[in-house]
Structure 1
Amino acid sequence: MAKLNIVLLEPEIPANTGNIGRTCVATDTKLHLIEPLGFSLSEKALKRAGMDYWKDLDVTTYLDYEDFLEKNPNAKIYYATTKALKTYTDVQYEEDCYIMFGKESAGIPEEILMEHKENCVRIPMINEIRSLNLSNSVAIVLYEALRQNHFDHMQLQGQLHNHTWE
């Protein structure tokens, strides 16, 4: 069964993290938060964005990037960045991989990117745009990874309330 992982390196905006948390709950994806965080995990904005789903979230926090690496020594990590040479559709996401996103104001530090340049991916955009919203970026890349893993264990068909599909 595919069990993907989203990693947020020093996220700053609680609403983004709340939205990402809700997406993780909806996809049975684990969320990893690397400190320092730009907010408290008890903030109302975070819980409002995650709605009542936050209590169902599988989330782990880490003191820093090194702590994350030490506690996940075998992690296959993809680094989502606007600076990558490859697009997010150019790689094959393993069913238990980690997809890391940097903080809203600066992204992932270039030193980390250079150490892992073969695993850096980007979402194509026109030149005039600096970046997409973090929660939108997570959803785009996560759903591509889920698609590549055939949406394993996910509900593929919806249901109408007052009618039936025929």
Structure 2
Amino acid sequence: MLHVVLVTPEIPHNTGAAGRLCLATGARLHLIKPLGFSLDDRQVKRVGLDYWKDVDLQVWESWDEFRAGIDPDAGVYFLTTKTQQPHWDVAFNDGDYLVFGCETKGLPESLLEENPDQCLTIPMVEGSTRSLNLATSVGIVLYEAVRQIRS
């Protein structure tokens, strides 16, 4: 099972869409508080449609609680625009964690600095845009990991 981790997500429909992607791929969705919305928010449920109740969801109070609660041997990859290593250059494995930051700030600099070899990016044409939508990014990287694992 792959794991998608959203660190302090702010926009409910992105989380709903990420949940739907997780459900479609058999991945678990991890949300790390604080959240910028309530999980009862109708927008989360609307984007997740009637599938939201079926999403394999785990909510964590903090990054530290999350790290203490996962397999220490699992691969943990941090998606950011602040690296040059493309996501497709990594050999993903079953059980890996794909970590995405909040929509307005991305991941905390401290996480990126502590884990430079696990930082990945989705390549874009230089100068085209600052970043991609969170749910779009989850879909791109999650399906690349699924493709690799199932090949």
Q: Same fold (TM over 0.5)?
A: yes
Q: Which residue of 1 aligns with 2:122?
A: 123
Q: 1:50 aligns with which of 48, 51, 61?
A: 48
Return the alpha-carbon distance in structure 2 between the equivalents of residues 70 and 149 of structure 1.
26
Q: Which residue of 2 aligns with 1:34?
A: 32
* Deviation per residue, 1:80-134 (Å, 9 max, x gap): 1011120000101111100000000000011100111101100011232110000
Return the alpha-carbon distance in structure 2 between the equivalents of residues 115 and 85 of structure 1.
16
Instruction: Name the TM-score, length of structure 1 as normaliser.
Output: 0.87
| Letter aligned with residue 132 of structure 1 | L
Q: Which residue of 2 aligns with 1:140?
A: 140
Alignment of structure 1 residues 1-166 onto 2, 5 Å? 3-74=1-72, 75-128=74-127, 129-150=129-150
Identity of aligned residues (%): 47
TM superposition outliers: structure 1 runs of 4+ over 2 Å? none
Q: Which residue of 2 aligns with 1:160?
A: none
Return the alpha-carbon distance in structure 2 between the equivalents of residues 27 and 53 of structure 1.
13
Return the alpha-carbon distance in structure 1 between the equivalents of residues 54 and 111 of structure 2.
31
Return the alpha-carbon distance in structure 1 between the equivalents of residues 111 and 3 of structure 2.
18
Q: Secondary structure at the match of 2:88?
A: coil
Q: Aligned-pair distance for 1:62? A: 0.6
Q: Structure 1 unaligned runs (5+)?
A: 152-166
The total of aligned residue pairs comes to: 149
Return the alpha-carbon distance in structure 1 between the equivalents of residues 125 and 149 of structure 2.
28
| Letter aligned with residue 14 of structure 2 | N
Q: Which residue of 2 aligns with 1:161?
A: none
State which drifts further: 71-80 or 53-62.
Answer: 71-80
Query: What RMSD in Å do the two structures reach over aligned CA positions?
Result: 1.0
Q: Aligned-pair distance for 1:73? A: 4.3
Q: Structure 2 unaligned runs (5+)?
A: none
Return the alpha-carbon distance in structure 2 between the equivalents of residues 30 and 73 of structure 1.
14
